[in-house]
Structure 1
């Protein structure tokens, strides 16, 4: 299965999980009495044409004659958590996100670690802008990315999918000795989708998956003695790394 197909399936999974989370709404039983009263709770017993028993908050149980009942219904419970856990606008935020970079090189499948820290400002639910730094490994290179990232939440719900897109510069280092070597980094970019789950009043936990690009250049000079003179061999390597990024993290 190709890398592009894996990424497409992962994006689809994020959307399905987000839609399922949003669709899960708690319900409660409701009694509408003929005198105008409305009783909300959990109906525990119904005796047709005689009585109905309902348990309300505090484990209190009430019994009503069916002659006093106008109708019985099931209704959605008001989402009181939304007041505390909704996406706040015009606030500063911090993100800590470890993860994995998954791709292929000449040796086959390559999985490398990643860690990023982002500090930013949220203008609205749909738009925020942050400055990020990190440390990552990609196929023998150590990359120190410095980037700007925008992210936004798709729904005004405590649990919601979100998007992110970023670009910047990745400082590259290989740490190889014994040869004359020059290593340079270059453009980095990332884009993806995630799912936010509230944690406390202002924090949240999230998982995400995306596409990550990184440029890196290496020039290596080897000196070989071939009697009676020396031979200089110069090798230049240009890398365009394309990776799937899988992350989890915390936002405060």
Structure 2
């Protein structure tokens, strides 16, 4: 329950940070229009900071009307991006997961990248994967889908390998890694965004220990193999830059 509450608090914070930007729009009697932020209003004048950060002093008698308008974030059709995200994994136990993804965005809504992570769930591993993401629309807030596949490289902690063997593995064998899910994105400037997502991840790998001659303690050329396979529900929070 505490993890759910933390995630909900993070979601509320993201909504506050990504609140829609508003501009003051001033319509003049001569037909001119100026957009910016009014920061001081006097009896006869208005002080406004325009979009290039100049301060303007405007006589109210020159104005026809004023209003506010919402400025949507500028979404570029293509470009490189970086995603950093972290979260929790749940199955019969819980663990943590962190991912860093770099890639290229094209046609506004499609993103293809490669990533590396740290998957610490019962037996730690390092996933290396390709990643695909799709934004459902170009709006400031949008649902998105993601999926990825690659290899899970075993990197057990001392406590983890001691549960299975009396010594550190002699060989680590990479296995399958996949993830997929749905999320919700909050853009705040250009293609920068916060997101929260939920999905599924799977990792499988092996470790091997050489069998030793009990008298000489020399390897006999055979191994004992420990296989690991994990299916988890994941909940992630991240940022795109």
Give yes or no for the alignment of 1:87 onto 2:76: yes
Give yes or no for the alignment of 1:150 onto 2:132: yes
TM-score, normalised by the number of residues in structure 2 = 0.60
For 1:122-168, what per-residue CA distance to the aligned partner results, in whole angstroms no more than 9, with x for missing partners? 222111222223232111x1222232211133443567654322233
Radius of gyration: which is bigger?
A: 1
**CA separation of 1:38 and 1:218: change in aligned 2, threshold 3 A:** closer
Shift of 1:180: 11
| 3-state SS of 1:26 partner | strand
Structure 2 counterpart of 1:178: 166
Match of 2:233 among 226, 240, 243: 243
Give yes or no for the alignment of 1:212 onto 2:204: no
Shift of 1:60: 0.9
**CA separation of 1:136 and 1:20: change in aligned 2, threshold 3 A:** closer
**CA separation of 1:100 and 1:25: change in aligned 2, threshold 3 A:** closer
C-alpha distance in 1, partners of 2:28/2:168?
84
TM-score, normalised by the number of residues in structure 1 = 0.58
Give yes or no for the alignment of 1:166 onto 2:164: no
**CA separation of 1:60 and 1:19: change in aligned 2, threshold 3 A:** closer
Match of 1:55 among 40, 47, 54: 47
Structure 2 gap segments, 5+ residues each? 50-54, 212-223
**CA separation of 1:21 and 1:179: change in aligned 2, threshold 3 A:** closer
| 3-state SS of 1:190 partner | strand
C-alpha distance in 1, partners of 2:144/2:126?
25
| 3-state SS of 1:74 partner | strand
Match of 1:188 among 174, 178, 198: 178
| 3-state SS of 2:166 partner | coil
C-alpha distance in 1, partners of 2:127/2:25?
53
| 3-state SS of 2:105 partner | strand
Aligned partners of 2:154 and 2:206 also within 8 Å: no
Structure 2 counterpart of 1:49: none
Aligned partners of 1:14 and 1:161 also within 8 Å: no
Give yes or no for the alignment of 1:133 onto 2:116: yes
> Within 5 Å, which residues of 2 pair with 1:3-22?
21=18
Structure 1 gap segments, 5+ residues each? 47-51, 223-233
Give yes or no for the alignment of 1:72 onto 2:60: no
Give yes or no for the alignment of 1:101 onto 2:88: yes
| 3-state SS of 1:156 partner | coil
